[in-house]
Chains A and B, each alone.
Chain A
Amino acid sequence: MTRRRARLVTTAALAAAALALVAAGCGGSSKSSSGGGNETTTSGGTSSSGGKTFANFRIAYDQGIDFLDPGLSYTVEGWGIMWNVYLPLLGYKHANGPDGATLVPYLAQDMPTVTNGGKTYEFTLRKGIKYSDGTEVKASDFKSTIERDFKVDSPGVGFFGNIVGADEYGKTKKGDISGITADDATGKITINLNAPQGDFEYILATTFAAPVPPSTPDKDQSTTPAPSTGPYMIKSYKPNKQAIVVRNPNFDASKFDGNVPAGNPDKMTIDIIGDDSVALQRVISGQDDYDFHQIPPDRLSSVQQKYADQIKVYTPANTYYFFMNVRVPPFDNLKVRQAVNYAINREALIRVYGGLGQPTEQVLPPTYPQYKKISMYPYDLAKAKQLVEQSGDKGMEVTVWNHDRGSDPKATAYLTDVLNKIGFKAKEKIVNSAVYWTTVGNQATKAQIGFADWFQDYPHPLDWFDVLLNGNRITQTHNNNYSNFDDSAVNAKIEALKKEPSLNSKVNGEWAQVDKMVAEQAPWAAFMNRQFTDFFNSDMDLSCYINHVLYQFDFATICHK
C-alpha cells in the first residue's frame, strides 16, 4: 500500500494547522502558499464555478502517472487527475489549508453512522447519481468496486484488510466480501470491521474506494477509462503522451450539497513532458497554462524576477529518507544504521535539491500535530566512522538504490560518497522509475539501502507508521516497509493506537513517542521535508488557486483571467 510520488501538497502556518487538525480529529497538514513573496493564500473557503468557466486548461505534466484506473493508481500524478473524476463515498473539501483535511460526504448522503464499538459503518447513497455513461450508481457498486480492487491486485487492498471476510476474499477471489452489504433499493451500505480502526473513514475517501460500474473489466482500464461519477471524465489517455479530461455530461453539482464543485475548465489537456526545463519553457511561452514540474534550481532566481506573481511555493506533508534494510548486512547492525544517520549532512542534501526543503530526522512531517522535533543525529562524520569501526562491518560492499527521476539521483550520489567515506565500498544502482518501487519492495531484491519518499495518503499518523513501519504488514512483494523494520514494541504500539477512534492530545503524544522509538532504532535516515513550486502562465487568475492537503493543486477550481 504505497503512495509515493514526485511531489504533493500543503505548507503551513503550523500552529493554525495543528489546532485545526486536532479539532478535526486527524493528523494532517495545512497549507499556505506564497507567490514569490507577494501573495499568501490562507483562505479556507470552497470554490464554486459560477461564471468562471473557460474552455481549456493546458497542463505540462510529468511522467509520474502510473495508471488512470482508480483501483490501480497510487501516485500524486494519478490521484491529482482522478480526484475530480472518480468520487468515493466520502471525500475532502475542495479548500486551501487545514480546512481541506475535512472529510465530507461525496457519494454518501451523510457522514457514516458508526456503531458496534467502532466496528460497523453505515452509509446511504445519494439518490439519482449517474455515471458518465448515463447508468445509475447503485449501492452494490461500492461492494463490487472493493472486490474489483482485490481482483486487479490493487496496491490499495491492504487498506481494506480489516473488513470482515476481505482477507479470505483476497486469497480466493471467489464469492464475495461478507463484511460489506448493500441494498440497491434503499441505497444503504453497511461495512463490518474485524476491529475498530481509527483511520477507516480516511481509507474510504481514497480513490481505491471510488465506485465504478460493476461491468468494469477486472484489468487495467487506464487507456479505456471506466465511466466516472465526478464533475469530469477521462476522454482519452495515451501513456507518456497526453490525457484529455472533459466535463461529465451526467454530473449535477447541485446534488452534492456544495461538497463537489462543478469545476471551471470545460476541458483539461494534460501534456506529459519529460524535462523540467522544457515544461517551464512551455508555460513561459504560453503553450501550456500550468507547470506541474519543479522549476530547475538554477532558474529559480530568474523565474522569480520575471514572473513573481505566477509562482506558488508550498510544503506538502512529506518526508524524504534513505531506508536501511534491517534484514540485510551491514544494516542489520544498529551501529551501522546510526552511523549513516550521523554521516549524512542534511543541509548538504537539501542544497543538492536546490535548497527547497527543511531538514528532518524523523518520520512525521512538522505539519502533523503529533510532530515533536527529534534532534538525535547531528552531523558527525568522525563518530560515524567510529561506529562503523565498532560494528565490525567496515569494508563491506553496499549497493545504494534509487530511481532515475528528478533530483533524487543526486541524493544517491551524495549518500554513496558518504558511505565510502565512513568505510564501506558503496556503489549506486539506478533503475527506471516505473519499476523502482516494485523492485525495492520485493524481498527477493534484498535492497540494502536506498532512496524513498512518502506523501500522505490521508492525514493520519497511521498512514506513516502502520503503512511504512509496522512489522506485521511486511509483505513478500509490493512491500512498503523497505527497511523490513519489525520491532515488537513499535508494532504493539501501532496496533494499540490503530484502535483509537480519534486523535486527542494524549493519543498524539503516544504517536510522538512512536516517532522517537523509530528514530532510536534508525531503520531510516530521514533527511528532508521538501518544498515545491507551482508555476502558471500569465493568463491564469491565481485568486482561485487551491492547494489541497492531499491532492495539491486543484485543477478543477482554477480560473482564467
Chain B
Amino acid sequence: MAQPATESEFTLDTAAQLAREEGGGGREIRGRSPWYLAWRRLRRNTVALLALLVFFLIVAACLLAPVFANHVAHTGPNANHVLERVNVDGQPTPVLSQGGYLNKKTLQPCSTGGSDCKLFSSIPIGPTWFSGGGRFVLGADSNGRDVAVRLLYGGRVSLFVGVISSAICVTLAIVLALLAGYFGGWVDFIITRFFDLFFAFPAVLLGIALGSALAINGFHHFGLNIGSGSIWIPTLVISYVLIPYVGRPLRGQVLSLREKEFVEAAISQGASPLRIMYSDLLPNVASSVLVFFTLIIANNIVLEAALSFLGAGVQPPTASWGTLISDGQTLIVTRPWLSLAPGIAIVLTVLALNVFGDGLRDALDPRAKVRVEH
C-alpha cells in the first residue's frame, strides 16, 4: 500500500490515488483537458451531431457536383439547352416550351396578327424526378439550364463564400480584438471607432453598396487584383462588413482577461505583448471564436444569398444559391421549384450550422451567451 502524501505534496494524482483507495480499487481519475470535456458534452448532444451530419452531407453533395453533372445529368452548370428535348417517361418533352404569338392551328409565329393568332406561354420543363434519365431532375430555368446541376455547383460557391468569408472575418476580428483589448488607450480608441463606423450602417446595406460598386470594376488596390466577376468580391465584402460584429464582443472578453492575475503574472515575468496575446489571451477566447466561426458561416451564407439575389454578390453566369433564387423569381408561379430548391438548401444548411453552433457553445462554455446579431 502506498504511503499517503504530505499536505504540501497533494496533487491530482494523489487525489486519484486516494479516491481509488476509498473506493476499494475503483476507476482511476484522470486529468481532463477542457477540450476533452467539451467533446464529451457535445457527444451527448445528439441533435447537434445530427445537424453536423446534415451539414457534412450537404458539403459532400456539393463537392460531388462534377460527378453528378458528368455522369448523371450530362451537362454543365452554365450550358443552355433552349431548343433541346428530353425524354420524360419515354415522351420527348421540350426543355423550354415554344411560346409567343402563334397561329392556333399551325403553331407558327404570327407576325401580323389575326383571329387565328393567340399568345402561348413559354415555360421551362419542371422537375423530372429522375424520370428523365437523370436529366433535369429539378427542372430547367428559362435558359434551359439544369437546375439540379446548378444547385450543386451553386452550393459549392455559397459554401465557399460562407466558410472563407467567415475565416477571414474571424481572423481579422481576433487580431483587432486582441490589439484593442490588450493595449487599450488610443489603440483601443481607434479600433472601436472603426467598429462604430461599421455599426452605423446595416450590414446588408453596406454589403449591397460595396458589392454593387465592386461588381462593375472589381478591386485593384493594395496589390490585389480581383476581377469584377470573381467570387472573391462577395467573399471579401461579406467578411469585411461583419468584422465588428465578431470583433466587438471578443474585445470585451479580452478587456476582461487583460485584468486577470495570470496576465499580470506574465507581464511581471517580462513576457512580450505578442507572447501574452498568443499564449495567454488567445487560448482563453478560443472557445468563443470557435462558436462564432460556426454561427457566422450560417450568417454569411444567408448574406451571400441576399447580396446575390440583389445582384451585388456572385455574378452571373456563376451559380450560387442566391442567384438561383433570383433566377427562379420570375417563374415563381409556374415553376416554384426553381426558387424553392435553393431556398430549401439554404434553410437546411443554415439550420444545421446554427443547431450545431448552439450545441458547440453549450459544450465549450455552458454559461456563454454568444450570438451573432446585426
Q: How far is the CB of B125 from chain A (nearest CB, A)?
A: 12
Who on chain A is nearest to B230 by CB?
Answer: A427
Which residues of chain A are within 8 angstroms of B78 by Cβ–Cβ distance? 413, 416-417, 420
Name which of A10-18, A150-158, A188-196, A468-476 contacts chain B: A10-18
Task: List B87-134 residues whose CB lies under 8 Å from chain A.
Answer: 96, 98-102, 104, 109-123
Contact B113 A300 (CB under 8 A): no
Within residues 280 to 327 of chain A, which ones have a CB less than 8 A from any CB in chain B? 295-304, 308, 311, 313, 315
Q: Residue on A with the closest CB to B99?
A: A355
A358 closest partner in B (C-beta): B111
For B, the interface residue count at a CB cutoff of 8 angstroms equals: 45
Residue-wise, chain B 58-87 has the 8 Å CB interface mask toward A (1 for contact) of: 000000000000000000001110110000
> Do B317 and A417 touch across chains, with their CB atoms under 8 A apart?
yes
Partner of B317, one of A276, A313, A413, A439: A413
In-complex Cβ contact of B118 among A308, A356, A418 (8 A)? A308
Q: Is the interface of B mostly helix, strand, loop or mixed?
A: loop
- Assess the B143–A298 pair: CB atoms within 8 A: no
Contact of B114 among A34, A301, A431 (CB under 8 A): A34
- Tell me, in angstroms, the Cα distance from A427 to B228 when the chains sit together: 10
Q: Which residues of A are found within 8 Å of B212, using beta-carbon distances?
A: 432
Whether the pair B118, A298 counts as a contact (CB closer than 8 A) is: no
Q: In the complex, are the beta carbons of B83 and A351 less than 8 A apart?
A: yes
Please give, as numbers and ranges, the residues of chain A lying within 8 Å of B330 by CB-CB distance.
276-277, 296, 298
Docked Cα-Cα span, A12 to B78, in Å, equals 37
**In the complex, A33 has a CB within 8 A of chain B:** yes
Whether a CB of chain B sits under 8 angstroms from the CB of A428 is: yes
* Least distance between B205 CB and chain A CB atoms (Å): 16
Residue from B98, B112, B123, B145 whose CB has the most chain A CB atoms within 10 Å: B112
> Hey, which chain B residues are within 8 Å of A348, CB to CB?
80, 82-83
A37-B122 in contact (CB<8A) = no
Residues in chain A near residue B145, CB distance under 8 A: 413
Report the Cα distance A385→B261, complex, angstroms: 74
Whether, in the assembled complex, B171 has its beta carbon less than 8 Å from a beta carbon of chain A, the answer is no
Q: How far is the CA of A41 from the CA of B45 in the complex (A)?
A: 72
A102 CB within 8 Å of chain B: no
A354 to B121 alpha-carbon distance, docked (Å): 7
A300 to B102, CA, bound (A): 11
In contact, A298 and B122 (Cβ under 8 angstroms)? yes
In the complex, the answer to whether B122 meets A297 with C-beta atoms within 8 Å is: yes
The CA-CA distance from A311 to B113 in the complex, in Å, is 12
- Which A415-435 residues sit within 8 Å CB-CB of chain B? 416-418, 420, 427-432, 435
A73 at the interface (CB under 8 A from B): no
A64: interface (CB < 8 Å): no
Residues of B contacting A40 in the complex (Cβ-Cβ under 8 angstroms): 113-115
- Are B100 and A299 touching (Cβ within 8 A)? no
**Binding-face segment, B189-197, B264-272, B331-339:** B331-339
A37, B115: Cβ atoms closer than 8 Å: yes
Bound CA–CA A458/B198 (angstroms): 51
Known contacts A428-B316, A430-B311; is A351 also within 8 Å of B96 by CB? Answer: yes
**How many angstroms between the C-alpha atoms of A14 and B110 in the bound complex?**
13
Contact of B122 among A33, A276, A277, A351 (CB under 8 A): A351
Are A428 and B315 neighbours in the complex by a CB distance under 8 Å? yes
Q: A33-B113, A297-B142, A313-B101 are in contact. Are A304 and B118 (CB under 8 A)?
A: yes
Is A204 located at the chain interface by the 8 A CB criterion? no
Most chain A beta-carbon contacts within 10 A, residue among B143, B212, B228, B335? B143
A residues neighboring B (CB under 8 Å):
11-14, 32-34, 36-38, 40, 276-277, 295-304, 308, 311, 313, 315, 345, 347-352, 354-358, 366, 404, 407, 409-410, 412-414, 416-418, 420, 427-432, 435, 439, 531, 533
Instruction: Provide 11 A-B residue pairs closer than 8 Å at the C-beta atoms, listed in order of the A residue.
Output: A12-B112, A37-B117, A296-B333, A352-B142, A355-B99, A355-B101, A358-B111, A404-B311, A407-B142, A417-B80, A420-B78
Interface, chain B (partner A; CB < 8 A): 78-80, 82-83, 96, 98-102, 104, 109-123, 142-143, 145, 212, 215-216, 228-229, 311, 315-317, 330-335
17 more A-B contacts (CB under 8 A) besides A298-B330, A356-B100?
A: A32-B112, A37-B115, A37-B117, A276-B330, A277-B333, A296-B330, A298-B331, A298-B334, A347-B83, A348-B80, A351-B122, A354-B100, A355-B101, A357-B100, A417-B79, A430-B316, A432-B212
